[in-house]
Amino acid sequence: MNLDDFSDLIERPDGGVRRDAEERRERLTVPPGALGRLDELGEWLAAAQQSVPVRPVERPRVVVFAADHGVAALNVSGRAAGTAYELVRDTLDGASAVAVLARRFSVPVRIVDAGLDCDPELLPESVVRHRVRRGSGRIDIEDALTAEEAERAVRLGTAIADEEADSGTDLVVLGDLSVGGTTAASVLIAALCGTDASVVTGRGGTGIDDLAWMRKCAAIRDALRRARPVLGDQLELLAAVGGADLAAMTGFLLQSAVRRMPVILDGVVGSACALVAQRAAFRAPDWWLAGQASGEPAQAKALDRMALTPLLDHGVTVGGGSGAILALPLVQAAAALAAELPERAEEAEEPEGTEGAEGAEEPEEATEVTEVTEVTAEKASGA
Coarse DSSP helix, strand, coil percentages of the chain, rounded to the nearest 5 percent: 55, 10, 40
Say which range, 132-141, 202-211, 218-227, 260-269, has the weakest mean pLDDT: 202-211
Q: What is the CATH number of the domain that holds 314?
A: 3.40.50.10210
pLDDT of residue 373 exceeding 70: no
Q: What is the pLDDT of residues 275-334, one digit of tens each?
A: 999 999 999 999 999 999 999 999 999 999 999 999 999 989 999 999 999 999 999 999
Please indicate, yes or no, if residue 198 is contained in any of the structural domains. Answer: yes
* Number of domain units in the chain: 1
Q: State the pairing for strand pair 288-290/263-265.
A: parallel
Please indicate, yes or no, if residue 47 is contained in any of the structural domains. Answer: no
232: buried, middle or exposed (CB in 10 Å: 19+, 13-18, 0-12)?
A: exposed
Active site residue 320: yes
From the list 42, 320, 321, 323, the catalytic residue is: 320
Residue type, 262: P
Please indicate, yes or no, if residue 45 is contained in any of the structural domains. Answer: no
Residue 257 to residue 357: CA distance in whole angstroms: 63
CA 273 to chain centre: 12
pLDDT of residue 147 exceeding 70: yes
Q: What is the pLDDT of residues 334-360, one digit of tens each?
A: 999 999 999 888 643 444 544 444 444
Beta bridge partners of 176: 65
Please indicate, yes or no, if residue 169 is contained in any of the structural domains. Answer: yes
Please indicate, yes or no, if residue 118 is contained in any of the structural domains. Answer: yes
Angle subtended at Cα 199 by Cα 197 and Cα 183, rounded to the nearest 5 degrees: 50
Please report which confidence band the pLDDT of residue 42 belongs to, taking 50, 70 and 90 as the band edges.
very high
Please indicate, yes or no, if residue 69 is contained in any of the structural domains. Answer: yes
* Distance linking the first and last C-alpha atoms of the chain: 113
Please indicate, yes or no, if residue 371 is contained in any of the structural domains. Answer: no
Please indicate, yes or no, if residue 237 is contained in any of the structural domains. Answer: yes
Residue 53 to residue 167: CA distance in whole angstroms: 23
pLDDT of residue 94 exceeding 60: yes
Domain range holding 143?
Answer: 58-329
